[in-house]
């Protein structure tokens, strides 16, 4: 396997993990492990690893992107260190450009949703975004959208709308309808389909989730902690940021992230040293098939 990869790199030059995977047609795990073990192949990942909460993992914490996604999308490989470093720099710029584009699109969607909703929604709600986009890790690799199975352009747009407790239920229902229409409009684009995931919740919900009691609360807090403002009443956003500090959410997230780092280090060591890891181990530790977004 190593000889085939080296020959490909000699012929092709520097490339991403997904290029080797497409060219060789071999299992992505075997390619990843061969490259990691090699003393000839130079690898450079530009991924920013961040916390992903996962019910199937001891302690609930692992890091994203998973090794498979990190290798295929965010890792540059080659035989010349200087060339690998240069391509990695270019890839980092590309990821930043994609993230900025998706952030701009998310803001445009949020503003449009406010324009088509009742005036009270603008006064009593805030739109924020979590996930890959604010972390500047958005990618555009095609993947299937979950509800309809259509292929979409990489990272989804995780938008959360938080409203004051006294916002009228009819206004909330109308907002939900508007966002659903926008979701399916994005999926109907002829060229570049984007996936919008959204959630609408109240300040009461936020306060309860900040107690950090169960899995859903922790996911919600993680999103609130990483989220950036999109549109709406910014005073609500400022209030939420203060609540996050008051409840020491950042410190709790950092503790979980450290657990995730230890889990990643331990499981990667097992994957590199185990000749034939079973399917369950691969699903838990290497592949991205279990990596579905959950927003609460």
For 124, residues 6+ apart whose C-beta sits below 8 A from its C-beta are 163, 164, 166, 167, 233, 236
Lowest mean pLDDT among 25-29, 34-38, 154-158: 154-158
* pLDDT tens digits, one per residue of 42-71: 999 999 999 999 988 889 999 999 999 999
Q: How confident is the model at residue 109 (pLDDT cuts 50, 70, 90)?
A: very high
Q: How confident is the model at residue 153 (pLDDT cuts 50, 70, 90)?
A: confident
> What local confidence, expressed as pLDDT, does residue 288 receive?
59
Lowest mean pLDDT among 13-27, 50-64, 87-101, 116-130: 50-64
- Listed by start position, the domains of the chain span 2-79+262-285, 98-247
* pLDDT tens digits, one per residue of 223-271: 999 999 999 999 999 999 999 999 999 999 999 999 999 999 999 999 9
Structure tokens at 109: 């969607």
Residues of the chain with pLDDT > 90, as a percent, come to 83
> What local confidence, expressed as pLDDT, does residue 75 receive?
98
> What local confidence, expressed as pLDDT, does residue 190 receive?
76
CA 232/CA 163 separation, integer angstroms: 10
**pLDDT (average), residues 90-95:** 98
> What local confidence, expressed as pLDDT, does residue 292 receive?
44
On average, the pLDDT of the chain sits at 93
> What local confidence, expressed as pLDDT, does residue 291 receive?
43
For residue 208, pLDDT over 60 is answered with yes
**pLDDT (average), residues 188-204:** 91
Helix axes 17-24, 2-12, angle to 10 degrees: 110
Going by their DSSP bridges, the two strands 151-153 and 142-144 should be labelled as antiparallel
> What local confidence, expressed as pLDDT, does residue 77 receive?
99
Q: Alpha carbon of 73 to those of 4, 69, 249: distances in Å?
A: 20, 6, 30
Class of domain 98-247: alpha beta
What is the 8-class DSSP label of residue 148?
A: T
CA 53/CA 240 separation, integer angstroms: 21
Q: What is the pTM of this model?
A: 0.91
**pLDDT (average), residues 17-33:** 96
């Amino acid at each position: 396997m190593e000889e085939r990869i080296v020959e490909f790199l000699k012929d092709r030059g520097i490339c991403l993990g997904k290029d080797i995977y497409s060219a060789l047609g071999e299992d992505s795990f075997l390619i990843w492990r061969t490259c990691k073990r090699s003393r000839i192949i130079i690898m450079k990942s530009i991924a920013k690893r961040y916390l992903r909460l996962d019910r199937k993992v001891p302690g609930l914490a692992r890091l994203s992107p998973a090794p498979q996604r990190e290798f295929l999308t965010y890792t540059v490989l080659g035989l010349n260190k200087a060339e690998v470093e240069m391509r990695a720099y270019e890839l980092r710029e590309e990821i930043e450009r994609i993230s900025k584009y998706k952030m701009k699109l998310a803001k445009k969607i949020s503003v449009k949703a406010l324009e088509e909703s009742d005036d009270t929604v603008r006064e009593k709600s805030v739109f924020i975004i979590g996930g890959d986009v604010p972390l500047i890790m958005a990618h555009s690799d095609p993947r299937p959208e979950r509800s309809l199975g259509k292929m979409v352009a990489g990272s989804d747009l995780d938008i959360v709308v938080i409203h004051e407790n006294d916002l009228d239920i009819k206004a909330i229902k109308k907002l939900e309808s508007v966002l659903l229409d926008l979701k399916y409009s994005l999926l109907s684009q002829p060229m570049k389909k984007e996936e919008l995931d959204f959630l609408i919740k109240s300040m009461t919900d936020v306060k309860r989730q900040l107690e950090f009691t169960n899995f859903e609360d922790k996911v919600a807090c993680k999103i609130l902690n990483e989220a950036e403002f999109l549109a709406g009443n910014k005073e609500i956003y400022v209030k939420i940021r203060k609540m996050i500090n008051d409840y020491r959410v950042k410190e709790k997230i950092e503790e979980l992230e450290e657990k995730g780092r230890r889990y990643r280090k331990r499981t990667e060591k097992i994957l590199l040293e185990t000749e034939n890891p079973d399917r369950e181990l691969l699903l838990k530790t290497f592949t991205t098939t279990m990596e579905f977004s959950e927003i609460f």
